[in-house]
Amino acid sequence: MKLNRYSYQIFMASVSLFSLIHFQAKSQHGLVQDDPVLAANVVVLPIIDGNGNDSCWQNVPWQSIAQVWIPYGTKVDSNDYSGRYKVVWSSTTNLMYFLIEVTDTVFVDGFIPGVTADIYNYDIVEVFIDENKSGGFHVFDGTGNAGREWGTNAENAFAYHIYADFPKEGQVTTKCYVYDLAGTSWSDAKSMDYTSHLPTFALRKTGNKAVWEFSLIVYNDTYEDTISNKDLARVRLHPGKVMGLSVAYCDNDHPDKNPKVRDFMFGSVWEPSPGNFHWMNADYFGTVKLIANIPVKNTIFHR
């Protein structure tokens, strides 16, 4: 079919628009973690010191933490913030290992459980894990309306809010506090201390870069903090296992403001508007697959 000049211009504009949309879609995809993230079984374990220079990390691709969940869809200059993470696991220790790197212009700490503003109003990392990728609500052990709106099993998935005071320049801290919400309803809400779920931890700060490095025990949805033998709920990791997994960062840019209020929240996967659904619903989690060996092919984020 022969096109006249006007039709040709319309056609070329449509092609350009399609190309632009396609490019933007690829760019948006480039801001999220792999689907799935492939976590390799490592023979030589990382030394948990916040350096990230262990051999086990070298050929593992970075995963981006760049989607702005709060305020939803806001554009943030990379000079102000950038975040990424790596994850592996060990069949020897039956643990997952995380390396999280954040570049930020301002780091804000000072959180005290039960005293200050809520933990997410400080600069913290969050790890969301759903051991059997069942999805669904995971806020409360609710019944009736509370169960329908917030979940019937708070341990259906875990939303680990990981806080630590930032050490002095070039130094490292090994103390952290790990929090998640539980209870039967908002009138019975409980702050659960899950620090023991991270057997080893290190946070190192150098200039405007902070590095979190830690191990994580994976529990299933039968976990109860009251049981004496928590190993009964511990999962045996193995190649081929698929779990829900996302990583996020809460960012406060105003250290002098009191009470503290979170300015931004960044996540490793896309969420629909208005964002910030992970803390209550595991349907939005990304996916991790445990594999036997480190993949040869690197992703676009590896550098």
What tokens does 196 get?
């023991």
Q: Provide the domain limits for residue 151.
A: 34-291
Residue 222 lies in a domain: yes
The CATH number of residue 50's host domain is 2.60.40.1190
CA-to-CA distance for 161 and 216, rounded, in angstroms? 13
**In the structure, how many helices (H) and strands (E) does the chain have?**
2, 15
Average confidence (pLDDT) over 85-106:
98
Q: Say which residue the tokens 């960044």 belong to.
A: 266
Output the 3-class SS for 62-74.
CEECCEEEECCCC
Instruction: Note the pLDDT of residue 209.
Output: 97
Looking at every residue in the chain, the average pLDDT score rounds to 89
Residue 9 lies in a domain: no
Contact call for residues 3 and 254 (beta carbons, < 8 A): no
pLDDT digits (tens, 9 = 90+) for 104-156: 999 999 999 999 999 999 999 999 999 999 999 999 999 999 999 999 999 99
> Can you name the residues that pair with 102 across neighbouring β-strands?
83, 210
Residue 8 lies in a domain: no
Phi, psi at residue 276, to the nearest 5°? 60, 55
Residue 10 lies in a domain: no
Q: Say which residue the tokens 């009251």 belong to.
A: 226
Residue 23 lies in a domain: no
Average confidence (pLDDT) over 254-259:
94
Average confidence (pLDDT) over 10-39:
55
pLDDT digits (tens, 9 = 90+) for 43-87: 999 999 999 999 999 999 999 999 999 999 899 998 899 999 999
For the entire predicted model, the pTM comes to 0.87
Residue 172 lies in a domain: yes
| Total structural domains within the chain | 1
Query: How many residues are there in the chain?
Result: 303
Residue 193 lies in a domain: yes
229-238: long-range contacts, CB 8 A cutoff, minimum separation 24: 234/94, 235/131, 236/94, 237/89, 237/90, 237/91, 237/94, 237/95, 237/96, 237/290, 238/91, 238/290
Residue 1 lies in a domain: no
